[in-house]
Structure formats: C-alpha cells, structure tokens
Structure 1
Amino acid sequence: MARAKPITTQKLKSWFLAGDKDLAMLRAQLTVLSGQLPLMYGILLISSWVLASTHMSIAPDWLTLYPPAIATVIAVLRSIDWLRLDPASLSKQQALTRVRGVIKLSVIISIAFTSWSLMLFKYGHALDKVHVSFYMAVTVISCIFCLGSLPLAALIVTLVVNGTFVCFFLFSDTTFFQAAAVNVTLVCIGMMFVMRQSYCHFCHMVEEQARSKQLIEVNERLANRDSLTDLPNRRAFYNALERQCMEACQSEKTIAAGAIDLDGFKPINDMYGHMVGDLLLKQVGQRLQTLADHIPGVAFFRVGGDEFSLIVSDSGSNEDCRLIGEQICEVMHRPFDVDDSEVSISATVGIAQFDPEKDSFQDVMEKADFALYRGKRTERGTCTIFSEHLHCEQRRVVQVQHALKSGALPDEIAPVFQPIVDIVHDRIIAVEALARWNCASLGNVAPSEFIPIAETSGCVADITKIMLEKSLAAARDWPSALQLSINLSAMDVSNEELLMWIYQRIASSDIAPTRINLEVTETALGAESSKVEQHLRLFRHLGCGVSLDDFGVGHSSLSRLHHLPLTKIKIDKSFVTDLHREARNFKIVKSLLTLARDIELDCIVEGVETEQELTLLRELQVKMVQGYYYSKPVTQEHLIELLSQNDDLSAEGIRQSA
C-alpha cells in the first residue's frame, strides 16, 4: 500500500497538470484561453449583476454594488489583455508565467465569488436563497467549460466553489438545499471526467499538430537545402531571388545575382571517383559558407553538380560586386585537402546587377549566366561583371540562337575540307570536314562563335547530322584512298540517340567505314567516360577510326587514354605556334609524341603554318600534319579541282595548287 500512493498521486497530477517543458502545449492552451476567458468573465459579470440586482432592496449597497463594480473593472481589463494576446510570440518562460497566472487567479476568483455569494445568502426569502445557490452552481459549470484547456484551474474552481457549496448546503436544515448539494456534486464529478477526456483529445491534437509542423519543417528543409554541402539549393535560390527582386522594385534596395562554376572539377571527379568529388564539393560549400559569414548580405546556393549561385543584398556598385567575385575566386583557388590528397580547382564567376525598371528575376539570372559563359570562354578562374558591352554580346547570342533554330539551317551549313598530310611519303591521306555557316540574316558566322552557342542551346546535334550527310555525299567523289574525318562535340558524344543515328548512317553508307575517322575532344571524355568509351567502341567495331582532338589542352589521364578505343591523337596547334622560337613548346610536343608512341597511337600535329615548323617536326619524326602550310580549308569544288590536278595525292602538289 505504501508504494501505491506515489503512483496514484502521479496519476492525479498527470490528469490535471500540463507539461511545463512543452512550449507547443503552453501556446495551445493560451490560444484557447485567450478566447474562452473573456467569455467566462462575461458570464460571471452578467450573472453577478443579475444576482446583485435582486438583492439591492434587501441587502446593503456595499454588498450589492461595490463587489460587482470592482469585479467588472478587473474583468474588462483582463478580457482586453487576453483578446490582445498573441501566444505564438511568447517565449517558453512567458507562456509558463501566463499559465501559472491563470491558475493563481482561479483561486482568487473562486474564493471571492464564493464568499460574496454566501454573504448574500442570508438576505431575502426562500426564492432569493435558491437564486444564490443556482448562481453558485452555474458559476462552477461555466468555469469548468471555459477552463477546459487548463484542467488544474478548473479543478481548483470546482473544489473551492463546489466544496464550499456542498459543505454549506449539505448541512443545512432544508432538504431542498441538501438535495441540490448532492446533485451539483454529481454533475461536477461527471463534468470533470468529461473535461478530462476532452483534455486528452486536446493534448493529442496539439501533439499531432506539433509533429506535423516538425515534419513540414523537415520537408521544407529537405526541399530547400542541399544535403551534400548544407547550402540552400536551386529551389531556395530562385525563391529568394524572386522575393528580393520584388522587394527591390518597391524600394531603393540594390541586389545582384551571380553564377559560379568550378573549373577542373569534372576531371578530378572522373579521376578519383564520385566519393572524392562529393568530399570536394562539401569543402567548397564550407568555404563559401565561411565567406558568406564574413561578407554581409551575401548568400550562396548550390544549384546542381559543380554549379553554385549567389545573391548579394545591398550590392552597391559593379566594383563592389567585382571585389566579392574576386574573393570567391581567390578562396576557390587555394588547394583542397581531400582524402589525403591535395587537389586544385578554380572558380569562374559571373555577376549581374538587378535593374528594377527593366529586369525580372529571370532576366538578372540570365545576365549572370551569360557573364559566366563569357568568363569561361575568355578568362577562366576570374570574375566577370555583366556590362553594356556584354549586353550587346548577349543580344548577338540570342540572334544566333534564333537563326540556328530556323528551318533554313540545312541549306546554310556547309562543310569545307582541310587536308591531312603524311609528310613521310608526302601524300594526302585524309581530309577533315569543318563546318561553315552562311546565314541569310546574319551573314557568315564563324565556327568559334556558333559552335559553342549551338552546344549550349541544344542545336549542335542538328549541325552534326547536316555535316555528316553532306560530308559522306562529298566523299563519294574522292579517291578511295582518301579518308574523311568528322568532328563530334562533347554534347554529341553524350547523346546516345544521335550516336546511334550516326552509327546507322555510316553503316548504310556506300563509303567504307574504314575510310571514316571520328574526332572527339578531351572535354568530351570528361562526362560519363564509361558510356563514352562504350559508344566509341561500337564505331571501332564498325571499322571507323577514333581520334582524340586538341590533345594536350584538356585533362585526360594516362589510364583513361590507355583504355579508350583510340587510333590517333591530334596535338593541339597552340603547341606548334612559334615552335622554332619557344623551347618550351618544342619540349611539350616532343613529350606528347613520345607518349603517343609509347601507347601505340598514331599522331597528327595540327596548326603547321611555316617551313620552319615543318622542319622541326620532321626532326621529331612526326609522320602526319595538318595546317595552312599545305592548305586552308577549301570547298568541295575546290578540293575536287586540287585532287584532279594531283592524281597521286601529292602533298606538295596540293600545296602549290592551293
């Protein structure tokens, strides 16, 4: 029995006491009380004044006027206070103080109204006494209902008022009052049990709401936070950018948006694996967050892959934005220690200021993306600020994009051909097909301009198809010993549907696959290298050659080169320029030639323009070259004319004729 008492006491406490540590419960209780306590005060005041009015002629004024008047002032002030209360703004301690205040006040109110009622009971006739007893019973019932979300306060009111009522009337000489005391007691007991059940449902509802709110917050965080870097994600970025742009339109606040791209990340990701790549991205996110902590108004976001964005609040001038961009570049340029290995990358940044009179939030991001695009083409690892000059370039890019998507492209794109020469036997062995575009609306557009735009706008596959069709048709008129080289862009190599089309087109062509060579760049091998390798092997099985173009300027690893189904590598022309003056270039070309021989690949040197360059390449035992020294790219008609004048495909004869 001694052990059962604490358990019973604990159960009773759990019946009527709310958890002091649950802020959500405290706020929920106060929310309900802020609506119900003014109602309770109203019921008590009206009932009290009605009772007082029936006793004014039989009881003294200090008992019928002053207590209700004082209670009215207090009740009105308390009601106003409760109606103005915002529970959601209260701290835990403030909410707890409020709840405890209600409990204490319930004691005072119960004692005050009970004492006042019993003092009035001795005045008047039997009906007046019945009115007083009825008033006390209604007081308890109304308080129980209105204090239902705070059971302890309701219990106090019940015990004080009903306890006094029962003791006073139960021992009276009147059977009616004795019976009323018993009835009120039973009713109150029943109501307390009902109230307890309602309170349990109330607590369960609050707990479910708190749990739902927590789940919503978790889902909101997952929806707006990048799990790898813990930076806000693409969704959060565009929501924040749209909101701040709207605020800037309604005020004089200036904002800027920026795009960040990591240079050199993909080769590291391919070389060391995705796990190292993820660790590197995580460190990038940490560095950006640290930078944001030190630069007021700057927020960073990861929008996908190795791409990040930023928003600069109160951005100030373009020079201020440039300083921020330079800090980003400087931070990213420092070596990273990833998985016990030191790796280095850089970051290219594009930033654009928001113009409230001209721009939408999409416009400012397009400008930032264009500034980034311009920076990656010209000055990687630096910050580019969108300017009026870039705005003109952007308009030009839009014009080129529209022209590329016009139906006239098949008639406007045409191949020109540049010979590839075997300098050991002084013979032309192949020609490379190069795209030229004579646009009806824009005139002649350089490949260096339209090819990158076609890649970013998704039109490069159309150009590749046109070039292949027209080049295969042209090759029918060439000597059967002459090979055809076709360029595939990075986008082409990752486009499985296009590669299958090329495969079928070559297989069904009357040009032998062994006469066709596909040229891919090192950058094309960076993404999904295993799939690229698989696709290229299909062409090797068909009989086509595969060349690695612009070798030496990308990030190919020796292990990957060894596994790729290559037949040739082409040394980039940047190493050949001034070969006879630059000892460094000479050593690089010599090393690349040695590498090609070691991995048993043929080698073509591009960009040969002078006799001196050719002489040095002969000393290095180069076998194949390509460049203006022998011939510039020529049209099909001109090539046919050159070939007709040199039946033996003599390279010297072609050079003299060209």
Structure 2
Amino acid sequence: MLVPRLRRLLDLYTVRENDPVLAAAQFQALARQVLMLYVVLGLNAVVLAYAHYGLAPDWIVLGPPILLLLGIGGRSLAWIRLARRTSQEKEAFAQLRSVSLFTVIVGGFASFWSAMLYGYGNDASDMHVIFFLTVTVMFCMQCIAQLRSAAYILATIAVCFCIYFFMIGEPLVRVSIVNYFLVLIGSMVMQNFAYRDFCRLVDLTEENSRLALTDALTGLPNRRAFVARLEEAVTHATVTGGRFGVGLIDLDGFKPVNDSLGHGAGDAVLREVARRLEGAGLGWAARLGGDEFGLIVAEETDLDAVGRRICALLGQPYLLREGPAQIGASVGFARFPEAAASAETLVDRADFALYHAKSCRRGAAVCFAPEHEAVLRRDAAIEQALRRADLAVEFRLLYQPIVDAVSGRVEAYEALARWQSPTLGFVSPAEFIPVAERSRLIRDLSRVLLGQALDTMRDWPAERRLSFNLSAHDIAAPESVDHLAAMVVASGIDPRRIVFEVTESGLMRDLGDATRALTSLRALGVGIALDDFGTGYSSLSYLQRLPVDRLKIDRSFVIRCAEDETSLNIVRSILDLCRHLTLDCVVEGVETADQLLLLRSVGCRAMQGYLFHKPMPAAAIPAFEAAPPLWALPRGSRAAAAA
C-alpha cells in the first residue's frame, strides 16, 4: 500500500516520457518564459548582495551570486540556441529533465545562500532575506508552471527553508513565514489547476490539429496531411538516397452511383474504398477530395503490381443499404527520384499518369514513364501557345455534313475546330482540346468558335442546322451558359436550327449541374445531342433526367458492325431505344457503302462520316450541296460521276 503511494508521490517530481505532444508544448512554453525567470532571479540576487555588502563577509556576499549569475548565464545562452531550431521529441524530454535538475541545483543554492546571509545586519536585513526567498520563489514557480515537476521541486525546497527560518526566526519572522507558507500552499493549488488546464489545452490543440489533417467522411488523412507527408518523404529520401512511389487514385463510375442511389450511398462507397485501401497495406493512403485518393508507397515496391491490386480491390462489388454498386478505379503513379525530385512535381507527374490512364486505359494503372515526359513538354508548349494565341485568327472551323441516308438530303453540319499555330504549325484537336480543358481556356475558345459558326450559317438554307460541340467546362458554370445563350439570341438565328453536342463522360463529372445547364439551353429552343453514346456509362436514368433530343452512336460500333454481330446488335438496340424515347439518332463514322447499306437495313437514317464528305471549309459548302450525292448512286454511276 505504501509503495504505490510513494510511486505516485515521486511522479510529481519526475518528467515521464509518456506524452511527446505535451512535452513539446511544455518545452515551447518554457522557451518563452525561462529567460525572464533568469533575469529576475539574477537581478534579485544582485540586489540582495548589494544590500548585505559590508554587513556579511565578502566571500558570502559576492561568491554565491557570481556563481549563480554564471550558471544562469550559461543556461540562458543554451536556451537561446535551442529556441532557434525545432526540437524533436527526445530533445524536448531531455531539456525538461535538465530544467528539473537545474531547479534542484539553483533553488537549493539560492535558498542556502539566503540562509547564510540571515542574521547579518539588523531586522530589516533579515526581512530582506525572507523577501528575496519568498518573492523569487513565487515568481519562478509562475514561470515554470507548465512543468509541474520543476514547480513542485521548487515549492518543496521553499517549504524546507520556511521550516528552518520559522525555527530560528524572531516572532515577526515567524508570522511572515506562516503567512508565506499559506500563500505558497494556495499557489501550489492554483499551479495545479493551471497545469491541468494547460494539459487540457494541449490535448484540445492536438485534437484540432488531428482533425485539421483528417478527412471527416472516411477518417483517412486529408490533402493537407498528404502534402506534408509527401514533403517529409522527399526530404528523407533525398538525404538517404531512397526511392518511393506516389499514386493518385480516381474512381471510375462513382458519379453514377452517387446520382442513382443517392449521396448517402456515395458516402458509403467512399468509406468502403478508404477501408479497403487501409486494410490492403499497400501504402500510406489519404483522401484528396471528391472521389480522388492518394497513396505513398514504400521504396522498391513494384508499382505495377500495386496498381493491379488496387484496381482489383476497388473493382469488387459494394453491398450498400440502397442496393449493390459497382465501380472501378484508375491509378497514376510517379516514382521518386526517376519521375521528379520535388513533392509538387511528383504529384504533377502522377496526375498526368492518371489522366493517361483514364483517357487510354480506364480501369488500369499507369506509371509515369520517360515517354510521358515528351508528351508533357508537348502539352506545355501547346498550353503556352494557346495562352498567346489570337483565337479569332488562328482557329477556324471545318464543317462535316450529317445526311439523311434514305433521301440524300443534308440535315445539318457539325462544326469541327482546327488550329494552325504560327509557332507549332498544325495542332490536332486531339491534342489542343484536352489541354484547353485542363487549362480552363476552353470557354474562351468555345465562344470564339461559336461566333464564327453563327456567322457562317447565316448563308445556309433555312432548313440547315448547325451541330456545335460543347465541353463540360462550357456548361459547368451558370455564367458560361448564360453567355452562350446570349450569343445565340444576339445572332438572330432561330435557336431550333442549333444543336449543342455534349459527351457522356463530360456530363458525368457533375450530372446535377449538367442537367440544370442543359435544361436552361433547351428552354431557349436549341437541341441537345449526346455524343459518343455507348462509350460511357449509357444509363437509362441519365437519359430520363437529361433534356436530350438526339443520340450520336460512336464510330467504334460502326467500324466493327460488318464483321461483329455484337456491334451491330448494339446499334440496333440503341435505335430501338431512340424510337421508344422519341429521340433522333445519328450514326457517326460511316466510311464505306457496305456500312451504309447495313446500317440502313437496321433502320438508320441520319449518318455522318467520310463516305458522305470529309470536314470542309465553309466556302466549299455551296459546291457540295450543288453536286449530286455520289454515295447515293450505284457503284458504276458513282465512278463515272467521279471521273
């Protein structure tokens, strides 16, 4: 029974290495206050020595304060050096123990010196000694209140000398000692309260810091924590010559789950993704925002194998309360130091690899490779040229006809952008459109090109329509949609002659905003076409929610329809879908007469492709319309007409 009580008592006088965060906070607090403690202690010692000079022997008056000043001077210089650098946890514990030890030495030395001075001189001199001891101890306890062990050590020393002075002192001294003892007890109680409040504040600060670095939904570290951890990894690997990988994970098909099953289901999917990533032990995982996650992988790990494991893991079904869900994942990796030597550039490289994965190998993992560097440089050159470009001068539109394959009548022309850069030469739309979207320059480009298209179609027959492509960024903001609508109204052209084409993949980024934007345009009277249908999510619920007038079947099905029965059946199914939903349907990529006949046999009418005509400048449209449609003639007549 006695031993546990003794152990608890000793705990009050020791620095225990059980709370690194508290130790760091104590160290920081002492670093701000200990210098003031040493200044006041030194001044009080000098004043006490001056008051007793000539009353007591010189070796008592001068020797101890000189030693005391040297000691606290050396400690002051040490604290100044420590305050200039960030202390690690072990160093903080060591300094706290040294403070407790120095408190024993200085407190005992100063108290013993004051006891040696007591009795020299008159009653006023003796009261000065008591005053030095009491006031200095009280102030020092205040300065080291955050380190309870040191404060208790100093209070214990003061109590011992209070007993000594009470035993040898005069009645007035005894009364003063009793009064001081009571004040000291009260100060120790208040110091204990202050210490507890300090500990609670440290705990609260630690909790707030933890919350600031934690994703509230999944419990994973957030983007801020990811960046900090990545910078630490780069610093460590730079010093040690190590290697590690950075991965960015983007969920494929998450938006459809969120939109069809609700946000609660989407949140459940994100929590399950976090659980799977943590449980797999593939690396240090974090949620960066939305449906994007980050991963820091240990050195010498096979990133391709990690990527395959992630894709397989996250591609497994999700059994939710709202119903089962299925998503996939695309992953981009970059390795330090091969891909980059800084945290920011590593993330950029991993992001490029992720973009490449989503564009070319959706549902797979791509590791940044040397050949990607050339693509990055090319994209950077394109972006710089885009930013310097005179959009109205350098960009032009070509027009490809959309025809009725039964009557041979031209229904509309799709406007297709082309860029002839003065510095880069001809730049393919497959190159400049993704760059324009990533750099947010696509909105300015779309407005310039729409203006050109509206000016061109003024010369067309009234029954001809314009089909114009919009990026997801064009409909992402209400002000952008309003600007496009204002351009249509200002042109004076019947809005019913205009069809805006949008892609499935672009709409799925935010189906809610896309629906509102397209509904606003649809109210103007323009048509809305869903481009590349069949290559994205193709959910019937989206067709129900979106204000769509027509579907455009992607050319990938047309190319294979003559040899692949499945592709032809997909085309046939989409045609049936359009008929039941009263939607128009356009088939893209028709290049041969055999494809034309086959597609027409299953009910296709509106078609587009090189068989009818390649994209042409606006000046060539009148001649095209005046000439007989060669594709509609028999083979022999077609050859003769062409000759």
Quickly name the TM-score band, shorter chain normalised.
0.7 to 0.9
Q: Take 2:163 and 2:634, find their aligned partners in 1: how far apart are those partners? A: 117
Local SS of the residue matching 1:514? helix
Equivalent of residue 262 in structure 1, options 232, 248, 251: 251
The aligned counterpart of 2:206 is 217
Shift of 1:155: 7.4
Q: Take 1:650 and 1:382, find their aligned partners in 2: how far apart are those partners? A: 44
Shift of 1:206: 3.0
The aligned counterpart of 2:164 is 161
Equivalent of residue 300 in structure 1, options 281, 285, 288: 285
Q: Take 1:245 and 1:347, find their aligned partners in 2: how far apart are those partners? A: 26
Shift of 1:579: 0.8
The aligned counterpart of 1:602 is 584
Distance 1:447 1:564, change over 3 A: same
Q: Take 1:576 and 1:628, find their aligned partners in 2: how far apart are those partners? A: 12
Q: Take 2:634 and 2:185, find their aligned partners in 1: how far apart are those partners? A: 103
Deviation digits for residues 555-601 of structure 1 (CA, Å, limit 9, x no counterpart): 24323312322211111111222212211112211211111111111
1:336-485 map, 5 Å:
336-339=318-321, 341-355=323-337, 359-485=341-467
Equivalent of residue 633 in structure 1, options 612, 615, 620: 615
1:280-319 map, 5 Å:
280-291=269-280, 294-295=281-282, 298-313=283-298, 315-316=299-300
Shift of 1:185: 1.6
Shift of 1:528: 3.5
Comparing 555-564 with 223-232, greater Cα deviation is found at: 555-564
The aligned counterpart of 1:530 is 512
Contact 2:507 2:514 (8 Å CA) reproduced: yes
Shift of 1:33: 11
Query: 1:573 and 2:555 equivalent?
Result: yes
Identity of aligned residues (%): 33
Query: 1:237 and 2:226 equivalent?
Result: yes
Contact 2:246 2:295 (8 Å CA) reproduced: yes
Contact 1:611 1:629 (8 Å CA) reproduced: yes
The aligned counterpart of 2:61 is none
Amino acid at match of 1:338: L
Q: Take 1:140 and 1:321, find their aligned partners in 2: how far apart are those partners? A: 73
Equivalent of residue 306 in structure 2, options 324, 338, 359: 324
Deviation digits for residues 604-655 of structure 1 (CA, Å, limit 9, x no counterpart): 1112222222222222222211122222212212222111335xx8973799
Equivalent of residue 652 in structure 1, options 617, 626, 632: 632
Amino acid at match of 1:402: Q
Contact 1:257 1:352 (8 Å CA) reproduced: yes
Distance 1:248 1:530, change over 3 A: closer
Contact 2:586 2:605 (8 Å CA) reproduced: yes
Deviation digits for residues 92-115 of structure 1 (CA, Å, limit 9, x no counterpart): 9xx99x999x99xx99x99x99xx
Q: Take 2:191 and 2:598, find their aligned partners in 1: how far apart are those partners? A: 91
Shift of 1:422: 1.5
Q: Take 2:181 and 2:500, find their aligned partners in 1: how far apart are those partners? A: 87
Contact 2:553 2:587 (8 Å CA) reproduced: yes
Contact 2:402 2:608 (8 Å CA) reproduced: yes
Query: 1:274 and 2:263 equivalent?
Result: yes
Q: Take 2:313 and 2:568, find their aligned partners in 1: how far apart are those partners? A: 35
Shift of 1:507: 1.0
Shift of 1:445: 1.6
Q: Take 2:262 and 2:118, find their aligned partners in 1: how far apart are those partners? A: 92
Distance 1:579 1:261, change over 3 A: same
Comparing 141-150 with 373-382, greater Cα deviation is found at: 141-150
Amino acid at match of 1:489: S
Aligned length: 591
Contact 2:334 2:346 (8 Å CA) reproduced: yes
Local SS of the residue matching 2:611? coil
Q: Take 1:128 and 1:502, find their aligned partners in 2: how far apart are those partners? A: 93
Amino acid at match of 1:352: A
The aligned counterpart of 2:471 is 489
The aligned counterpart of 2:545 is 563
Deviation digits for residues 95-137 of structure 1 (CA, Å, limit 9, x no counterpart): 99x999x99xx99x99x99xx99xxxxxxxxx99889999999
Q: Take 1:379 and 1:145, find their aligned partners in 2: how far apart are those partners? A: 76
Contact 1:347 1:382 (8 Å CA) reproduced: yes
Local SS of the residue matching 2:453? helix
Equivalent of residue 249 in structure 1, options 235, 238, 254: 238
Q: Take 1:579 and 1:653, find their aligned partners in 2: how far apart are those partners? A: 22
Comparing 412-421 with 618-627, greater Cα deviation is found at: 618-627
Q: Take 1:330 and 1:133, find their aligned partners in 2: how far apart are those partners? A: 89
Shift of 1:458: 0.8
The aligned counterpart of 1:185 is 174
Q: Take 2:321 and 2:132, find their aligned partners in 1: how far apart are those partners? A: 70
Query: 1:617 and 2:599 equivalent?
Result: yes
Local SS of the residue matching 2:217? coil
Shift of 1:382: 1.9
Distance 1:595 1:432, change over 3 A: same
Amino acid at match of 1:252: G
Q: Take 2:218 and 2:236, find their aligned partners in 1: how far apart are those partners? A: 28
Contact 1:30 1:99 (8 Å CA) reproduced: no
Q: Take 1:146 and 1:323, find their aligned partners in 2: how far apart are those partners? A: 67
Deviation digits for residues 217-263 of structure 1 (CA, Å, limit 9, x no counterpart): 23322322211122222222222323332343334222332322111
Unaligned runs of 5+ in 2: 1-11, 58-69, 142-150
Deviation digits for residues 518-551 of structure 1 (CA, Å, limit 9, x no counterpart): 1111123223433322322233232211111111
Shift of 1:158: 5.6
Local SS of the residue matching 1:250? helix
Contact 1:562 1:599 (8 Å CA) reproduced: no
Amino acid at match of 1:558: L
Comparing 609-618 with 133-142, greater Cα deviation is found at: 133-142
Local SS of the residue matching 1:257? strand
Distance 1:541 1:189, change over 3 A: same
Local SS of the residue matching 1:286? helix
Q: Take 1:541 and 1:289, find their aligned partners in 2: how far apart are those partners? A: 48
Local SS of the residue matching 2:388? coil
Q: Take 2:520 and 2:536, find their aligned partners in 1: how far apart are those partners? A: 24
Comparing 231-240 with 463-472, greater Cα deviation is found at: 231-240
The aligned counterpart of 2:9 is none
The aligned counterpart of 2:4 is none
Provide TM-score, normalisation by structure 2: 0.77
Comparing 351-360 with 213-222, greater Cα deviation is found at: 351-360
Shift of 1:327: 2.7
Deviation digits for residues 476-506 of structure 1 (CA, Å, limit 9, x no counterpart): 2222111111111111121322221111111
Shift of 1:425: 2.4
Comparing 542-551 with 319-328, greater Cα deviation is found at: 319-328
Shift of 1:138: 8.8
Distance 1:202 1:562, change over 3 A: same
Shift of 1:397: 0.7
Distance 1:302 1:140, change over 3 A: same
The aligned counterpart of 1:584 is 566
Q: Take 1:33 and 1:322, find their aligned partners in 2: how far apart are those partners? A: 55
Amino acid at match of 1:187: S
Shift of 1:509: 1.2
Distance 1:528 1:598, change over 3 A: same
Local SS of the residue matching 1:576? helix
